């Protein structure tokens, strides 16, 4: 109900929701000790190593930190270049 | 040791306020507690805030560690660091007490709920303490809140003690039912709280 009123009155998002979103980001960084700069460097190096073995789409590589209970997980999504494109080259 | 006026089996050992905290080492604490274990069922060690020597002293002899936090951003962040350190010292898993929950603010969406905090910290819950003015009046009188039978916070603290003892105690229903309708609902469905 409150949310409907907030929406109708054009009020801001509830502060607890904001707090939770902010906390999620902060805790991920607190727990991993990896600065955004270091993450970028890690990403570049990963792309370099993987490219040596298989053709990938470097601009679409995504690396992020995810939370699984108290465990942090580094998730890398690395799209391979399609076989068709590889043949054309 | 100082014997409590009300409870004949409760004793207090105050920490020196004048001496440097480094006067006591973690191994001193283990030795002290090993002696106390012989004659006492439970030893509660109150850790100072922060992650300095006092914290290391407090956790050194501990079998169970309870982390107390408020549902506030900065407090939850500190709690997360402490929980991480407890894990690193292989003293985990820590058990969480969430203190000073304001149910009206939670209901308005302006305070992190117990579920929010648990999701963020991902540890086991052992206590939910509602904000309660009785805590202040009790300390004014020098009376432990846990001995106040009418206080909700007192009830919550007694429930923690029972859970530590291995009892399964449901968590207090913190949603204070305000207004006439809420009170009616309570009369119709009494004993909702734990």
Contact list in A for residue B106 (CB cut-off 8 A) is: 16
Quickly state the pLDDT bin for B191 (edges 50, 70, 90): very low
Average pLDDT of span B29-47: 95
Least confident interval from A55-59, B30-34, B118-122, B153-157: A55-59
Asked whether the beta carbons of residue B110 and residue A22 sit closer than 8 angstroms, the reply is no
**Alpha carbons B177 and B154: distance in angstroms, whole number:** 19
* pLDDT for res A8: 59
Residue predicted with more confidence, B17 or B82: B82
For A83, the 3-state DSSP assignment is helix
Average pLDDT, chain B: 88
pLDDT at A83: 72
User: What does each C-alpha distance from B125 to B28, B134, B185, B187 come to in angstroms?
Assistant: 30, 23, 28, 29
Output B84 or A69, whichever has higher pLDDT: B84
Mutation for B interface: A27, A29, A72, most B CBs within 10 A: A27
Alpha-carbon span B89 to B83, nearest angstrom: 10
The whole-number pLDDT of residue B54 equals 86
Chain A, window 5-24: residues with a beta carbon less than 8 angstroms from a chain B beta carbon: 14-17, 19-20, 22-24
Considering only residues B178 and A38, tell me which one the structure prediction assigns the higher pLDDT.
Answer: A38
- Among candidates B42, B52, B47, B59, which has minimal Cα distance to B7? B42
Position B166 confidence tier, pLDDT thresholds 50, 70, 90: very high
Contact B120 A26 (CB under 8 A): no
Task: Give, as one character, the DSSP assignment of residue B5.
Answer: S
Cα separations (Å) of A46 from A33, A59, A61, A83, B38?
Answer: 19, 13, 10, 21, 57
B51 vs A23, which has greater pLDDT?
A23
Distance from CA of A76 to the nearest CA of B (A): 23
For residue B48, what are its two tokens?
Answer: 């100072």
β-pairing verdict for A62-68 and A71-77: antiparallel
Measured between CA atoms, how close is A69 to chain B, in angstroms? Answer: 5
Run of H or E including B35 = helix B26-39
User: How confident is the model at residue A85, as a pLDDT?
Assistant: 60
CB distance B112 to B77 below 8 Å = no
Q: Counting one residue from A and one from B, how many pairs have CB atoms under 8 Å apart?
A: 48
Of A14, A24, A27, Cβ closest to residue B109: A14
Q: pLDDT tens digits, residue range B98-114?
A: 999 999 999 999 999 99
Q: Report d(CA B127, CA B158) in Å as an integer.
A: 10
Q: What whole-number distance in Å separates Cα of residue A8 and Cα of residue B154?
A: 41
Structure token pair of residue A2: 């409150």
Choice between B54 and B162, residue whose per-residue pLDDT is larger: B162
Residue B6 or A10, more confident: B6
Q: Is the pLDDT of residue B194 over 50?
A: no
Percent of chain B with pLDDT over 90: 75
Q: Do B108 and A2 touch (CB under 8 A)?
A: yes
Contacting A residues, span 41-80, partner chain B, CB-CB under 8 Å: 67, 69-70
Give the whole-angstrom CA distance, residue B7 versus residue B40.
14
Instruction: Look at B73 and A23 and tell me if their CB atoms are within 8 Å.
Output: yes
Rounded Cα gap, residues B41 and B90, in angstroms: 23
Which residues of chain A fall short of a pLDDT of 50? none
Is the pLDDT at B80 greater than 60? The verdict is: yes
Please say if the pLDDT value at position B79 is more than 90. yes
As a whole number, mean pLDDT of residues B2-29 equals 86
Percent of chain B with pLDDT over 70: 88
Confidence of residue B174 (pLDDT cuts 50, 70, 90): low
Give CA separation, A6 vs A12, A19, B104, B105, B171, in Å.
7, 17, 17, 15, 31
What digits encode the pLDDT tens for the residues B125-151?
999 999 999 999 999 999 999 999 999
Q: Is B113 on the interface with A (CB under 8 A)?
A: yes
CB B20 within 8 A of CB B14: no
Q: What is the pLDDT of residue A34?
A: 79
DSSP code, position A80? B
Q: Which residues of B touch A3 (CB under 8 A)?
A: 109
Whether the bond between B93 and the residue before it is cis, its omega within 30 degrees of 0, is: yes
Contact residues on chain B for A20, CB-CB shorter than 8 A? 112, 116, 119-120
Indicate yes or no: CB of B120 within 8 angstroms of CB of A15: no
Determine the average pLDDT of the residues in B4-24.
84
Residue B64 and residue B78: Cα distance in Å, rounded? 19
| pLDDT of residue B177 exceeding 90 | no
Angle between helices B114-121 and B73-88 (to 10 degrees): 40
């Amino acid at each position: 109900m409150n949310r409907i009123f907030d929406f109708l009155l054009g009020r801001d998002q509830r502060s607890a929701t904001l707090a939770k979103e902010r906390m999620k980001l902060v805790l991920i960084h607190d727990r991993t000790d990896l600065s955004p700069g270091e993450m970028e460097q890690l990403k570049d190096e990963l792309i370099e190593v993987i490219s040596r073995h298989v053709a990938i789409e470097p601009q679409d590589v995504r690396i992020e930190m995810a939370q699984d209970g108290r465990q942090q997980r580094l998730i890398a999504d690395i799209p391979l270049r399609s076989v068709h494109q590889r043949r054309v080259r | 040791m100082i014997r409590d006026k009300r409870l004949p089996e409760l004793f207090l050992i105050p920490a020196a306020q004048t001496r440097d905290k480094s006067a006591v080492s973690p191994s001193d604490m283990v030795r002290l507690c090993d002696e106390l274990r012989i004659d006492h069922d439970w030893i509660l060690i109150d850790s100072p805030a922060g992650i300095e020597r006092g914290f290391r002293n407090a956790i050194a002899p501990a079998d169970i560690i309870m982390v107390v936090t408020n549902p506030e951003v900065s407090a939850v962040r500190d709690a997360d660091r402490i929980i991480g350190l407890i894990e690193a010292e292989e003293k985990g898993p820590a058990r969480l007490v969430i203190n000073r929950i304001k149910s009206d603010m939670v209901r308005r969406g302006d305070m992190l709920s117990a579920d929010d905090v648990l999701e963020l910290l991902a540890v086991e819950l052992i206590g939910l303490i509602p904000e309660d003015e009785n805590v202040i009046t009790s300390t004014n009188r020098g009376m432990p809140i846990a001995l106040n039978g009418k206080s909700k916070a007192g009830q919550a603290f007694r429930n923690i003690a029972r859970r530590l003892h291995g009892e399964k105690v449901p968590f207090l229903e913190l949603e204070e039912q305000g207004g006439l309708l809420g009170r009616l609902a309570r009369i119709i469905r009494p004993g909702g709280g734990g």
